[in-house]
A and B are shown apart, each in its own frame.
Chain A
Amino acid sequence: MKILACISVVPDTTTKITFTDNNTQFNTAGVQYILNPYDELAVTRGLEIAEANGGTLTIVHVGKADAEPVIRKALSMGANEAIRIDAEAMDAQHVAEEISKIAEGYDLIITGRESIDYNGGAVCGLLGAMLGIPSINVVTRIDYAAGKFSFDRDIDGGRETVSCAGPCVASAQKDLCEPRIPNMRGIMAARTKPLQVVPAKTSGGYSQYASFELPAPKSGVKLIDPSEAGKLIDILRNEAKVI
């Protein structure tokens, strides 16, 4: 079985987001980059399924060379090989187009539910449509048995169970698994694992990020005395008018 895990490289979750150049560029100064938390789950579950079924896991990332430490991290978790498609990712559509060019022959493709920077949540569905295969969003379980993949996925107000024969693409949601922490052997082995760099084949052109904005700051908290807490309900009803 061949499994492909798509990874994005994102600012650490504690990053204070700011912009430069008149709010047109994300300020990368001092930013620590990490493997997108959902993609950690994609890689981990991909590995577990590959190991249980005598398969392999390939990592793919669309991005420039500065992402290689994070790609190596995914390799150190246990992936067999990695492909870096050498392009500045423009948007989810550009990323999916590039990945679709190398995605033939995989039985299962796993992405994250969304990247925590641009939050498109789109690569899974886009890949499904590009490759003409089922896409299963926000999965909390992936199992493989008797030639079929079975998934639990979050739906509005609940959860459902779906199945299909591969190939298919699924996006990882929290609860899928516990992210695997690389051990020393894995870290050593990752240094020499194949990381193939392939040239980009498309140029994007679906959208352009023109500028950014931070949420308006709060004007300051209005404190209510804890001994008169019930007053809060009155304020929410009559002043804020939200209940």
Chain B
Amino acid sequence: MSVLVFAEISDGKFKKAAFEAVSYGRQVADLLGSKVVAVAIGQGADGSELGLYGAHQVKTISVGEAFTADAYAAAVHGVANEVSATTVIVSNTYTGKSLSPRLAQLMGASLASNVVSLPDTQDGFNVKRGVFSGKAFAFVNLTRTNKVLAITPNSFEIKTFGESAQVENSSVGLSNSGLTIDAVNKVTGKIPLTEAEVVISGGRGLKGPENWHLIEDLATALGAATACSKPVSDMEWRPHSEHVGQTGITIKPNLYVAVGISGAIQHLAGVSSSKVIVAINKDPEAPFFKAADYGIVGDAFEVLPQLIAAAKN
């Protein structure tokens, strides 16, 4: 029996989410008294790197990186059989979200996404997962022998184990997908919102897209990603991929800075699990102050330049 971790590769490198998943997988394996194997599909990444984060063994499938859910799920299922894995860990990224249900179906496994805790195995196999779009958590008992867990990015500290992993090619190949990939457009050089540790977000209080340089300058100074409220993306001041909240992306950075955002319940749903929240709003009654750790009651156009200057220092 083993725990298998899908270690995601992007642009020839393991993602941070892959290290999180491996380190989480190792802790699950320790709990279950089994070993942890990582599977890496794609080229360029050095599988032995995963030993540091706790992998005992790494299976590689050296093909191009083009991800399709059907082909990847079949391949990971093949490796799960190869190493007798009953529990598979993936990160709940877009890739992981596409992969995990198909994999669960192939394995006849119980599936839990948005997982934010290690399993509690005292009475069955229970995990804590986010529900109601960030407004609550549920403890769910996974009742099948096989399990697939999709863990929320940025929810687990990356632990290092300083061991070496045995790396080998898997005998499993990547089958053809029923889907043709016609074009891929990746924004390079920008930090993907779901993976960012710091997020600077702007709302309608910024008055217009021409003022977004203030958000971007602060983000650049802090190595942060940028986000926005729903009306801001609805009015096309910003791309919809930046819209966070109940009907946008749910994020969990270490620091979320909300500028000129009122703090509507639907907005808070997507960001309230952030470790530290800062609200900047000229209205002292703005609901965001109730959800924030730090606040500045002031005009964004006066406050942001000061923050940018201090951050560059």
Contacts and interface: CB of A to CB of B under 8 A. Distances in A.
B101 A240 contact: no
B243 A160 contact: no
Contacts of B266: 13-14
A55 to B, nearest CB: 21
Contacts of A156: 10, 15, 93-95, 192, 194-195
A122 B295 contact: no
A222 interface: yes
B241 A154 contact: yes
Interface residues of B, number: 98
Contacts, number: 269
Contact of A226 (B133, B275, B279, B297): B297
Contact of A233 (B137, B184, B307): B307
A117 B131 contact: yes
Contact of A215 (B67, B101, B137, B276): B137
A112 to B, nearest CB: 10
B141 A14 contact: no
Interface stretch (B20-28, B40-48, B104-112, B207-215): B104-112
Given A119-B114, A126-B105, A208-B143, A240 B293 contact: yes
B73 A157 contact: no
Interface stretch (A1-9, A133-141, A183-191): A133-141
Contacts of B15: 156
A30 interface: no
B10 A129 contact: no
Interface of A: 11, 13-14, 16-17, 19, 37-38, 92-93, 96, 116-126, 128-130, 133-138, 140, 150, 154-164, 168, 174-175, 205-215, 218-219, 221-226, 229-236, 240, 242-243
7 contacts: A92-B111, A126-B104, A126-B105, A128-B101, A159-B241, A161-B184, A168-B179
Interface of B: 10, 15, 67-70, 73, 93-95, 97-102, 104-106, 109-114, 126, 128, 130-144, 177-187, 190, 192, 194-195, 197-198, 222, 240-241, 243, 246-248, 250, 254-255, 265-266, 269, 272-273, 275-279, 289-299, 302-303, 306-307, 309-311, 313
Given A205-B143, A213-B137, 20 more contacts: A122-B101, A135-B98, A135-B102, A138-B94, A140-B240, A156-B10, A156-B93, A156-B194, A159-B241, A161-B183, A162-B68, A162-B180, A213-B138, A221-B289, A223-B296, A229-B306, A233-B307, A240-B293, A240-B294, A242-B255
